[in-house]
Amino acid sequence: MYRSRLVMAWNIFRFCTALRGLGSIMILLVLAVVGVTYYAVVLTNYAPVLYDATGGFTSSLIALVILILFHILLVLLLWSYFSVVFTNPGSVPANWRPLLDEVERDEVNPRIRYCRKCNQMKPPRCHHCSVCGRCVLKMDHHCVWVVNCVGALNYKYFLLFLFYTFLETSLVTLSLLPQFIAFFTDEEIAGTPSMLATTFLAFVLNLAFALSVMGFLIMHVSLVSSNTTTIEAYEKKSTPKWRYDLGRRRNFEQVFGTDKRYWLIPSYSEEDLRRISTLEETLQFP
């Protein structure tokens, strides 16, 4: 029995190590999908319409609107994506110890635990990530697509990445839908075989991403509304009253900040940055 547990632990360790090695590969894969999509939407289908004098004013206007929306969403998507990739999700300082009043309070309702892998105490809402090899503050999950943990300090960026990915992939799917339908009709399609293949591939990829991301987005909207992480959603189960639930508005502001001007961009106001810095110093993320 002991040997089987040891083998299982070793296999899990090797699996986590393999995930860690996916880093640059996953980033390149995301950029490759973006590149294929850009080629199909901009270079193959809609930019040429702007220079086609026979297309008419309406066709040129539709192409211009699609291209403007596409580039705006693409900038916001990539900005959010790399913000998640390069932002530390929040880690526990070495030799961290809780305040005395926290220890006394938690003797009745223990929330401060000890991480046997990091060999140190960890604050509430903190979990150890076997892939990153560290404890993460208010950890939601480890995402192989962003090659990073999603935690207290980059959760907003992750949600915006999901949001703009859904909008961008939905826009691409709708804009390439006429060309996709034309594949299965007798209608003549302009372009080389490689252009047509790229358009077909871009449509299928973006449709798949739009449907899958929509499910994740709905799930995380529900989690944000109750101030719950993905891990905690499994932990609390049938808890009658979630102790971190501050009400929907305050739960939302915990993630996106209090300044409405910054809600839709992967950045915070100076006031919210000071608030986050204070929370990070005390390691208390309600």
Q: Measured between alpha carbons, how far is 276 from 265 in angstroms, rounded to an integer?
A: 17
DSSP 268-281: --HHHHHHHHHHHH
Per-residue confidence (pLDDT) for residue 120, from 0 to 100 = 85
* Six token digits for residue 269: 């106001």
Which residue has 């449709």 as its token pair? 207
Q: Is the pLDDT of residue 58 over 80?
A: yes
Per-residue confidence (pLDDT) for residue 49, from 0 to 100 = 87
User: CA distances (Å), 169 to each of 58, 152, 172, in order?
Assistant: 24, 27, 5
Q: Is the pLDDT of residue 107 over 80?
A: no
* Six token digits for residue 116: 């046997």
Q: Is the pLDDT of residue 280 over 90?
A: no
Q: Is the pLDDT of residue 237 over 60?
A: no
Number of helices (H) and strands (E), helices first, in the chain?
Answer: 10, 6
Per-residue confidence (pLDDT) for residue 2, from 0 to 100 = 38
Q: Measured between alpha carbons, how far is 5 from 2 in angstroms, rounded to an integer?
A: 5
Task: Reduce the DSSP state of residue 219 to 3 states and report it.
Answer: helix
Residues assigned a catalytic role:
143
pLDDT tens for each residue of 193-203: 788 889 999 99
Range 88-112 average pLDDT: 66
Q: Is the pLDDT of residue 98 over 80?
A: no
pLDDT tens for each residue of 123-162: 888 999 988 888 999 999 999 899 899 999 999 999 999 9
Considering only 62-76, 84-98, 111-125, which range has the smallest mean pLDDT? 111-125
pLDDT tens for each residue of 155-188: 999 999 999 999 999 999 999 999 888 888 766 6
Q: What percent of the chain has pLDDT over 70?
A: 82
Q: How far is CA 135 from the centre of its chain?
A: 19
What's the pTM value of the predicted model, to 2 decimals?
A: 0.87
Tell how strand 126-129 and strand 120-122 pair up.
unpaired
Q: Measured between alpha carbons, how far is 16 from 131 in angstroms, rounded to an integer?
A: 5
Amino acid of residue 101: D
DSSP state at residue 55: S
Q: Measured between alpha carbons, how far is 282 from 97 in angstroms, rounded to an integer?
A: 11
DSSP state at residue 158: H
Rg of the chain over CA atoms, in angstroms?
A: 23
Per-residue confidence (pLDDT) for residue 5, from 0 to 100 = 41
Alpha helices per DSSP H over the chain:
2-20, 23-38, 47-50, 57-86, 100-106, 155-182, 193-225, 230-236, 248-256, 270-282
Residue 115, Ramachandran bin (φ over 0: left; ψ between -120 and 50: alpha; else beta): beta
What confidence tier does 68 reach under pLDDT thresholds 50, 70, 90?
very high
Q: Is the pLDDT of residue 104 over 90?
A: no
pLDDT tens for each residue of 199-221: 999 999 999 999 999 999 999 99
Crossing angle of helices 57-86 and 155-182, rounded to 10°: 150
Per-residue confidence (pLDDT) for residue 53, from 0 to 100 = 64
